[in-house]
Structures are given as C-alpha cells and as structure tokens.
A and B are shown apart, each in its own frame.
Chain A
C-alpha cells in the first residue's frame, strides 16, 4: 500500500509542476481532465457505491452554476459562497428525488428514468424563466479577482481544478473505508441482504445521493466562472449527464481512481479528436469515435481499465501486502487446529 501512496505522491508532484512547462492550450485540456474527473468521482459516490444509476446528474451541475451566478449577478455574492448555497439547493433536490425513488422502491431502470425526468423538467423550466436567461442563456462578465472566482489565464483554474480533483479523491477514500461507505457497497451488492444484516438502506441511499449532489454542484460554479456562458440545454442536458458518466465507467465504476484514470484517457482523446475532426469539417465524428470506444470498453473491459492497470502494476506496487499478513495468520491458525 505504501508503494501506491508513493506513486501517487510522485504523480501529484508532477501535476503541480506541469504549468511551468506547458502552454495555455494544453493547460486547458488538463483543466477539463480534472473537471471531468471530479464530476465523475462525485457521480461515482452514488452510482459506483450504492449502485443506483443516475443519468441526470447534469441537474446538479446546473443547479450549482445557475445559483452561484444568479447570486453573484444580482446580489454581488462571491461565487465561493454562492457555490455552497448551490450545494444546499442541490442537496434539497437530491433528497426529494431520493425520497421518491427510495421510499417508493424504484429500482434499476425506473430510478434511471426518474433521474432523467428530474433533469429534463428542470431544463425545461429554467428555459422559461426570464431571470435565469430563458432560452438565450446567461453571459457572465469577466471581472477577474479571487473573490469573483475568475482569473486571467489558465494557470489559476488549473490549480483550482486540480484541488477539486484531489479533494474528491480524498472524500471517496474516506467514504470507502468508513462504516457508511461499507454499508453503501453492501447495498449495491444486495440491498435485501444488507437490510437483513441491519443496514438501514434508505438512510444510506439518501446520504449517498445527497453527498453526490452536493459535490457535483460545486463543479457547476467552477464551470460557470470558467466558461462564462450558461445555457439550460448545456447545463441540464443529457449530453452532459452522459459525458460525466463515461469516464468513471470506462475507468472503473466503484473504485477510487477509476474516474480519474477514465478522465485522463478519455478527455484528451475527446479534445484532440474534436479539434482534429471539426477542422476537417467532419462534425460529430469524434462523438462517433467516443460512442464506439465506450461500447468496446463495456464489452471487453467490463470492470474498467483500472482493473487491468492494477493487475499489471501489482507485482511492482505489491498492493496485496496488507492482505498477505492476514492470509499468513489464517494459515497458521488452520495448521494449529
């Protein structure tokens, strides 16, 4: 285990030093990598850990983005605080959705469709609200300052996004080894069995969806102050919902580093192929590529890329070290009896 931590520390150090060597365009790609890794990680908390699939997570991104922007533009509230307010709204909506889904026993596809319905309804309603920009969307003014969560150049955004990503990794790690996290995994594997073992499935499902929604919405504020344009179709739309689940699924659902790995693989691929193909006038080709890769990964690497990476790295990193101790003890005990 310690070897893994050393490896991660090295990688983090490299990432911290990257902005010194790369130009703005490439930094921008990294920002997107971190951004989508963070989103994927946040989504992973719900779907990877409790097994309830959400195809409407863009809802929370939108809630975060629109809330902090509205408060900033109309009340001068710093997006840093607006971000937290957005988080609270996201949690409220998620708890409502969760209540409907979990209390009424909507499992599998029904839950998926519920999440889509919520996102779509919100998209449609926001598209009709004048104060939120209606069909034309909202443009943000560029007033760079820390307080305004806006900066010149990509470097500050790079570090903030990196910070978000690391934060999400830490959150998921804490969750994974916590009591709550273990209960969530049990629920994912077999909710009935978990209940029979005393796990209050409803409570932990609600915790999972609330935490997931909160974290997702923070990214919405980042997005707003990085892209400077909000539109309901982009922020609440299925395209974003799908985009943010691709990386964790390809990287490895329900693992800590899966979403991160998935983002490091998919995001550059997406950016580069989009730039390349759009220049040649082949609109949409990069998305076709995307879709095909997604299908291939699910068919041939269903556990996600991280599973194979772990196996390959195991001899070097000796990830089983911790377990070896127990297995030895177990063999001793067997031999004694």
Chain B
C-alpha cells in the first residue's frame, strides 16, 4: 500500500470531513432545539450553493467573499420554512413530521431544477484548481480554505450559543420548551431563529463546497443522508459531536477508496451508520435521543 497515497487520502478526508461537520452542525442544532429531523437539509445546502453560484456568475464575487450574504439569504429561507411549516408540526407524531420536510426538500430541489436546469455546473472560482504541496502530499487549496472556514464557523456558533443572550435563550428552549415559555421566552421566534441559523450554516457550507464539486439540483439528497450519518455518529444535538462525526466520516470515506471504487464509498458510510445506530445510538460523543 502506497503510504503517500494513504496520507494524502487521510488529509483530504480530514479536510472534507470538516466541511461535513459544518453541514451536519445545522442539522444537529435544529434537532437539538426542536426535536425535528430536517429531511430537507441537503436541499437547503444546495440552494445555498446555487445562490453562491448565481452571485459569482452575475456579480463576479467569489464564494468566499459572498459567504456572509449567502448565509444571510439562507437564514431567511430557514426562518420562513420554520415559521410557515415546521412550527405547526412540532407536536405531531413522527410519521407526520417526516413528510412535510421531505416535501419541502422536493420543492427546493425542483425549484433549483426549474431555475437552473439539470446540467452540472463547475464554476471556475479563484482557487478551484489550485493545489499546494506538503512534502509528497498534494492538497487542494479550496479544500483547505473550506476546512478552515468550517472550523471557524463551527466554533463561532458553539461560542455564540454558550455565551450570548440569544444563545442562552436557544439553549433554554432546547432544554425545556414549556419552562422556557414560562420564563417569557418567545419559543416560536426562537425556533424560527434556530432553524434559520441551522439553515444558514448549511448554506455557508454549500458556498464553501461550490469550488469543490460540480453543482446540480440532485446533490441535495446525498448530502441530507451524509448529514444524518454525521449527526448520528457524533450524537444528535451535540454540536462538537457534529464536527467530530464529520471528520470521522470524511476520513472513512476517503480511506475506503483504497479498497473500493469511489462510487461505493457510501456503502462504507451507511455501514458505519448502521453499526453506530445498533451499538451506540447516542453517538460517539453522546447526545439527545
């Protein structure tokens, strides 16, 4: 086995894993606060990717620079989804919660299809083709940047939730919805904000992902599943766990290409998922169930 190749795959896996972690962060946050599983998560990310693409193509602004605008835009999208649909289904039995979000995912995916067509798009953003060398190992610059942003954003969110007033309110609502209402917290608005925040982080992840892979409307479904796997790996509702889970999954997927064709690497991911669900359902770092 070629050790340079292995090392390379390891590093690429870590870098992509950080991004997976960012995508899953939003999902974990949404579940942690509202107990809702966002089946439209990947599709929201894809909208973020298209939004970022649009800005790049129309205005020539790099995804890394338009990150804040994209996040804000997707925040609004998330806010709207929560306030119009999800808030109403919070007390529904689980079967009835799954369908609306799956349906929203379908709507988002096909809106993208309608607006941009099914063709893959690979915009040539600033660093999309650049690489740097660390000894014998080749590293994609865009992956490195994405990873760095992902780590920064993840920790920013964690600190925000821990220290800020809004963050405390969010955590209160997550802990005990009724008690939070009793102390005067407007839980509906917190929910809207939380979903918006979760969506925004995923949208940002999308923007960071844009230089890394061809964009098409059907990408969403795979990323929803990836986000699920990461969240279950790390622990539902555990934000640092999302990052840890992302790194593990990124590495596992990457390294599996040493033995399997790349198109089968998802089998590895799902295999890991099943094992964790059976033997450690609370996730490696523990979380809400």
Contacts and interface: CB of A to CB of B under 8 A. Distances in A.
Contacts of A242: 102, 106
Contacts of A302: 92, 96
B42 to A, nearest CB: 11
Interface residues of B, number: 42
A114 B277 contact: yes
Contact of A124 (B103, B113, B117, B263): B263
Contacts of A295: 85, 100, 103-104, 107
A153 interface: no
Interface in B93-152: 93-96, 98-100, 102-107, 109-111, 113-114, 117-118
Contacts of B66: none
Contacts of A291: 103-107, 110
Given A114-B277, A291-B107, A299 B271 contact: no
Contact of B221 (A53, A100, A238, A283): A238
A100 B95 contact: no
A251 to B, nearest CB: 13
Given A121-B271, A124-B266, A128-B263, A299 B118 contact: no
B263 A127 contact: yes
Interface in B71-108: 85, 88-89, 92-96, 98-100, 102-107
A169 interface: no
A113 B95 contact: no
A93 interface: no
Contacts of A117: 270, 273-274
B264 interface: yes
Interface string B238-277: 0000000000000000000000010110110011011001
B228 to A, nearest CB: 6
A25 to B, nearest CB: 25
B37 A109 contact: yes
Nearest to A249: B99
B235 interface: no
Nearest to A108: B94
A132 interface: no
B97 to A, nearest CB: 9
Contacts of A246: 99
B96 A100 contact: no
B281 interface: yes
B225 interface: yes
A290 B274 contact: no
A47 B267 CA distance: 26
Interface string A88-132: 000000000000100010101110111011001100110110000
Contacts of B264: 124-125, 128
B117 A100 contact: no
A294 interface: yes
B273 A47 contact: no
Contacts of A55: 98, 102
B117 A283 contact: yes
A218 interface: no
A298 interface: yes
A285 B114 contact: yes
B127 to A, nearest CB: 31
Contact of A47 (B89, B95, B228, B270): B95
A242 B106 CA distance: 10
A109, A112, A128 — which one has the most chain B CB atoms within 10 A of its CB? A109
A238 B106 CA distance: 11
Contact of A288 (B93, B114, B118, B271): B114
A247 to B, nearest CB: 11
B182 interface: no
Interface in B205-229: 217, 221, 225, 228
Contact of B278 (A104, A245, A253): A104
Q: Sort A-B residue pairs by CB-CB distance and give the 5 closest, nearest first.
A: A284-B110, A284-B113, A291-B107, A294-B103, A291-B106
Given A106-B278, A292-B107, 18 more contacts: A100-B274, A104-B277, A104-B278, A109-B94, A110-B232, A112-B37, A113-B228, A124-B266, A127-B263, A238-B221, A242-B106, A245-B99, A287-B106, A291-B106, A291-B110, A294-B102, A298-B103, A299-B100
6 contacts: A121-B271, A242-B106, A284-B109, A284-B114, A291-B107, A292-B103
